[in-house]
Amino acid sequence: MKLQKLYSLTRQAIERYQMIEAGDKIAVGLSGGKDSFALLYALSGLRTFYPKPFYLEAIIVDLGFSKMDFSSATELCKKLAVPCHVVSTKIADIVFEKRNEKNPCSLCAKLRKGALNEKAHTLGFQKIAYAHHQDDVIETLLLSLFYEGRFSCFSPVTFLERTKLTVIRPFIYLSEAELIGFQNAYSLPVVKNTCPMDGNSKRAYIKQVIRQLNLENPGMKQQLFSALVHSEIDGWK
């Protein structure tokens, strides 16, 4: 995928859901994966010509897993002239040693987002950008349906009452396949995930289910996304 298409689809989502206002101070949550790196590229580029000027910085939450090297992430931030902050945590130790969770992914995600949001709040940001893409949206829908018995999903824009932060998700119109194409085209320096649960979560299982269903029913993913957009779920109309 070309950079221009990345800008275009990101801007469409931003404008459709009014994610950015003039003067916003926005933090990008960098996990080290292709999605967050692509989001860094998209927002750092958009800030140069978007009609509503905004300020951008990046925050990396180091979960404490051994051999996870974020130097390539900080180098990319320098290249794109985006200030970067690294938050060191012991989340890996809490999840896998102290708590010994049977289903660690949920707790890990909660603690990681908590650390990210707290740092953004401390630094005085109004908004924080997550790199959830269209496939994440569809997976979350089915996770909710399969394991909670309800039709639910996060919203494109979410206000967090405790920290007074607004979460924005500018990638909801981009598929994972498009982001993989962008990663390959621009040689994004993805940080290897050393978490022992990588690829073994409920979300990974749902991803496989969706892949098979879409093979058997071409266009199913887009139909699910369309159903969400036209649903009564808060924030999607």
Query: Which one is the CATH code of 3-229: 3.40.50.11290, 3.40.50.620, 3.90.1570.30, 3.30.450.40?
Result: 3.40.50.620
Distances (CA, A) of 138 to 59, 116, 154, 172, 225: 26, 24, 10, 10, 6
Q: Taking 70 as the threshold, does the pLDDT of residue 103 lie above it? A: no
| Integer Cα distance of 208 and 217 in angstroms | 14
**Phi and psi at residue 100, in whole multiples of 5°?**
45, 50
Nearest to 133 by CA among 59, 235, 230, 37: 37
Residue ranges per structural domain of the chain: 3-229
Place of tokens 């969400």: 228
* Each residue's pLDDT tens digit, 184-218: 999 988 886 666 666 567 888 899 999 999 999 99
Straight-line distance from the first to the last Cα atom of the chain, in angstroms, rounded to the nearest whole number? 28
Instruction: State pTM to two decimals.
Output: 0.90
- What are the φ/ψ torsions at residue 166 (nearest 5 degrees)? -110, 120
* Two tokens, residue 57: 């910085």
pLDDT tens by residue, 168-186: 999 999 999 999 999 999 9
pLDDT computed for residue 89 by the predictor: 83
